[in-house]
């Protein structure tokens, strides 16, 4: 499974990219607005940090203006994936962009039927929102099971399932078990994947045992070098 981080915060992106765990970034107008900066500048800087796909979303709702905005966004860097909503005009835009070999992330997917349409339109990624489905009393991960199962039935569907609106590590694990290709995570959720109380307990025990010896790996190395 690939990990994307869902943020426009450059400090967070740089820090997470340094771990080697980051395969891409997703942004949206709300996340860009929080930065208080020019969208194109932010996207350009993110693309410099992360070589993988960086989703940048159009803000128009009609196909003509979406295509104009998409051209601007795609011109920022070769790894921009233009993000469009799952609407009739959004899918028309998707088809036109894919015919030009521009990556497209179709977002705001809430049903398997919508996911089929996105795949037929040639979407590079489909973004089902599991957390928002959970919020209205449905089980968002059931949708991931459905979409993955449907896509596996057709060799002509190359669309990757990009699980969005992830609220915690359990969503990530279950999405991976379902066979989803990508999870886009808020930075705090990505960091939460590290955590387990037994890891902390074990590390504390190892460190206390080593401290009791009074030894230092670096001092021992220096002593060996001096003796050679």
The residue among 34, 10, 31, 30 whose CA lies nearest residue 22 is 10
Nearest-angstrom CA–CA distance, 186 and 30? 13
The answer to whether 160 touches 125, Cβ cutoff 8 Å, is yes
The count of residues in the chain is: 228
Nearest-angstrom CA–CA distance, 189 and 184? 10
- Point out the catalytic residue in the list 2, 83, 120, 208: 83
| 83 classed as catalytic | yes
The residue among 140, 186, 205, 198 whose CA lies nearest residue 5 is 186
Cα distances from 49 to residues 3, 11, 38, 66, 81, in angstroms, run 15, 10, 17, 26, 15
The helix (run of H) or strand (run of E) holding residue 182 is: strand 182-185
Backbone angles phi, psi at 183, to 5 degrees: -125, 130
- At 102, is the secondary structure helix, strand, or coil? coil
Instruction: For residue 210, give both structure tokens.
Output: 């080593």
Residues forming the active site? 83
């Amino acid at each position: 499974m690939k990990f994307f981080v869902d943020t426009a915060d450059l400090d967070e992106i740089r820090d997470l990219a340094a771990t080697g765990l980051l395969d891409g970034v997703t942004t949206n107008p709300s996340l860009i607005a929080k930065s208080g900066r020019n969208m194109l500048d932010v996207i350009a800087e993110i693309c410099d940090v992360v070589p993988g796909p960086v989703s940048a979303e159009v803000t128009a709702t009609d196909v003509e203006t979406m295509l104009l905005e998409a051209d601007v966004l795609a011109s920022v860097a070769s790894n921009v994936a233009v993000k469009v909503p799952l609407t009739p005009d959004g899918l028309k835009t998707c088809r036109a962009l894919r015919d030009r070999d521009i990556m497209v992330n179709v977002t705001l997917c809430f049903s398997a039927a919508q996911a089929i349409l996105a795949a037929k339109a040639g979407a590079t990624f489909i973004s089902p929102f599991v957390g928002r489905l959970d919020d209205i009393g449905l089980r968002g991960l059931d949708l991931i099971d459905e979409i993955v199962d449907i896509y596996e039935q057709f060799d002509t569907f190359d669309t990757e399932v990009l699980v969005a609106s992830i609220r915690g590590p359990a969503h990530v694990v279950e999405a991976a078990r379902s066979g989803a290709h990508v999870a886009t995570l808020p930075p705090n959720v990505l960091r939460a994947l590290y955590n387990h109380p037994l890891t902390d307990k074990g590390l504390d025990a190892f460190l206390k045992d080593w401290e009791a010896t009074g030894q230092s790996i670096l001092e021992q190395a220096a002593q060996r070098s001096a003796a050679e």
